[in-house]
Structure formats: structure tokens, C-alpha cells
Amino acid sequence: MSDIDIRTTGRAGRITLTRPKALNALSYEMCMAIDAALRNWREDDEVDLVILDAEGEKAFCAGGDIAELYATGTKGDYAYGQKFWRDEYRLNAMIFEYPKPVVSFLQGFTMGGGVGIGCHGTHRIVGESSKIAMPECSIGLVPDVGGSLLLALAPGRLGEYLGVTGARMGPGDAIYAGFADHFIPQDQWPDMIEMLEASGKDDLLAEHAAPAPDRSLPQDDIDRFFVGETLGDVLTDLRNGDTEFTRGALEAMGRNSPLSMACAIEMLHRLRGPALTMRKALELEYRFTFRSMEHGDFLEGIRAQIIDKDRNPKWQFADMNVPAAAVSRMLMPLGADTLTFEEE
């Protein structure tokens, strides 16, 4: 497949995304190729670790390839998207639970589906150009691909802020927020990969890590203004704040789907606590994405951002007053369609 290069080199299983002109966006076929490779290497004694990287300077992976989802969804075929998300989420869980080290090198943009394959392994490497974000609310989805787990575990109310604004994290912020582990200057990456391939030993990474760059996320402001129980509570606090931070947050949120933002906040509040697992997070995400074409704002979000590019989506609840019942409907258990993790 020309979009992805899968091979073994030395002691390493190697997965390289090779769609730099498309910012290495993940297609369903690419997800399934990664899935098959990981299953094969899991039992292969010749493979000590897995390395994920990507061609091009602009992005490790800027998200999922949503054109096909839009094309099928607008014809009333919701099954393709439901299958795409189901199988993608199973892959995300496999990476998180993988019995061997998984090392990812995250240059440029790592967003959405890129977080799902790049930020759940054991060693997540960022460099000078790294920009990590969960911007799903801008297209009528919620932070998914296991991103809700990372957001729920982030310090303070950082998860709510990142989830509803789609703010981009530089390398220092990504490490602080729990989306990455080590900062290694990017000119050292080729040598690091060669050493990992030759030795199969992942302890080299910590030895070569440099001090993380300064972080810029204003944690105190975030904890003050994003503490509300619902989207409405958060908006009230922000509107009463009248600071540069609150104005910037309101502007960012004003572009996003109110239903998606309300559901994202509710999801994080449900997930936080000692019972949090990756599978629990993915199962909750799937409740939303399963319904997102038919009942959410996903198709309208894609139309406005990607297809017509008018940047003028007609969101549900455009006045930002999202009823609790609407949130509950999107996050109700799916019954027979519940996401499961049995290997087929």
C-alpha cells in the first residue's frame, strides 16, 4: 500500500505513514494494515518493539480521512462510519494494551486519529515542531480514539479546555498534559531509530531525552474557568470573566458544535475516577460517534470545514443552550451495538 510502509528492520517492527501531502491522514485501509501488523508482531520473538513514524515535516498524522465518511453518510449510509470507528477504536485499545514497547515519533501535527495511533504507546517522542490537539468538536464529533482517556487524566481542568477549544499543545505542553513522554531534538531522530532497530532496547530513549521546552498553557486560568459541571456552567463563568484568556476561549468555542462540546464535558466528568480504563473511554466515545451522522452535527461540520469550506456550519443548539436530554440521548448505551473488543 502506497499510503503506509510496514516492515521489520533489525529487532523492530516498523510502521511509517507515507501520505505527507494529505498530512498522513488515516484511511480505513491504513488502520487495518496497522492492526494486522501489530497482531503478527505480538507473537513474533524476532520483534522486540514497534516504531511508528511518518514522512514529511508538517504532520505525523493530522487525523482520520473523513472524505469517505462524508460521502457515505450524506447518502444515508451510516454503517460505514460506524464500522470505521469501531475497528479504529479496537486498534487504539490494542496499541494501549500492547505487550511490547510501542515508540512513536510525533513531528508537526498530531491530531484526532493521529493521537489514537501515536499517543497510546509506551514511548511518545515529541520534537521542536510537534503540535498535538483534539479538535473534533469543530467538526461535530467529540474527542475520541481514546483521547477522552488522556483528557480525563490531564491535570486539573485541562481536559475540558483542550477538548472544547481544540487548543494546540507544543512539545512542553504535550508532555505536561500526558500526551507525550520525551522531548528529543528532531535532528537526532534518525539515529535514535537506527539504534532502536539494532538493539531492540527502549531504555535508550530516556537516556537521550532533553529537557522539555517551557509550557504555555495557563493552568490557573483553565482551572478557574473550566470547573463547571456543564457546558452552560463553563460558558457562564467565561462570560463573567472578561479577560484575554476568557475572550480567547469563547472565540474558539464559538466555532465549535455546541452539542459536541456539551457531550465532551459530560464524558470527561463520567470518566474521571479510579474505574477509568481505555476500554471504558472508547466505549463511551463510540456511543457518540455511532450516532454522530444521524443525530449529531458531524456531516454539517465536515460540509462547512472540508467540502464547501464556507466555515459557516449550521449547528444544532446554535444559541449554545444544549438541553441535558440532548446530551443524554447521544451518550445512552447502545445495547446490541455496544463497542466490544473481541478479536474477530
Q: How far apart are CA 230 and CA 241, in angstroms?
A: 17
Average pLDDT of span 186-201? 97
Give the C-alpha separation, 199 to 294, whole Å: 50
* Average pLDDT of the residues in 102-107: 98
Residue 70 to residues 191, 298, 318, 344, Cα–Cα distance (Å): 40, 9, 22, 27
Asked if the model's pLDDT at residue 344 lies above 80, the reply is no
- In the numeric block, which cell numbers belong to residue 109? 501535527
Residue 330 has pLDDT above 80, yes or no: yes
The structural domains of the chain, ordered by start, are 4-135+156-208 (3.90.226.10), 219-337 (no CATH)
Q: pLDDT at residue 59 above 70?
A: yes
Q: What is the spatial distance between Cα 170 and Cα 340, in angstroms, rounded to a whole number?
A: 34
Nearest CA among 96, 103, 120, 98 for reference residue 194: 103
pLDDT tens-digit readout, 264-296: 999 999 999 999 999 999 999 999 999 999 999
In angstroms, the CA 179 to CA 169 distance is 9
> What's residue 66's pLDDT?
86
C-alpha cell of residue 30: 491504513
Could you give the CA distance from residue 305 to residue 74 in angstroms, rounded to a whole number? 15
| Residue 174 cell numbers, joined | 504535550
Q: How far apart are CA 134 and CA 110, in angstroms?
A: 9
- pLDDT confidence bin for 120, thresholds 50/70/90: very high
Spatial neighbors of 159 by CB under 8 A, at least 6 apart, are 150, 151, 152, 153, 268
Residue 123 has which C-alpha cell? 514511548
Per DSSP bridges, beta strands 4-9 and 12-17 are: antiparallel
CA 318/CA 11 separation, integer angstroms: 53
Task: Please tell me the predicted confidence (pLDDT) of residue 1.
Answer: 56
The four Cα atoms 245, 248, 250, 252 give a dihedral, to 10 degrees, of: -140
Assess whether pLDDT exceeds 70 at residue 235.
yes
- State the pTM of this model: 0.97
Q: What is the pLDDT of residue 237?
A: 97
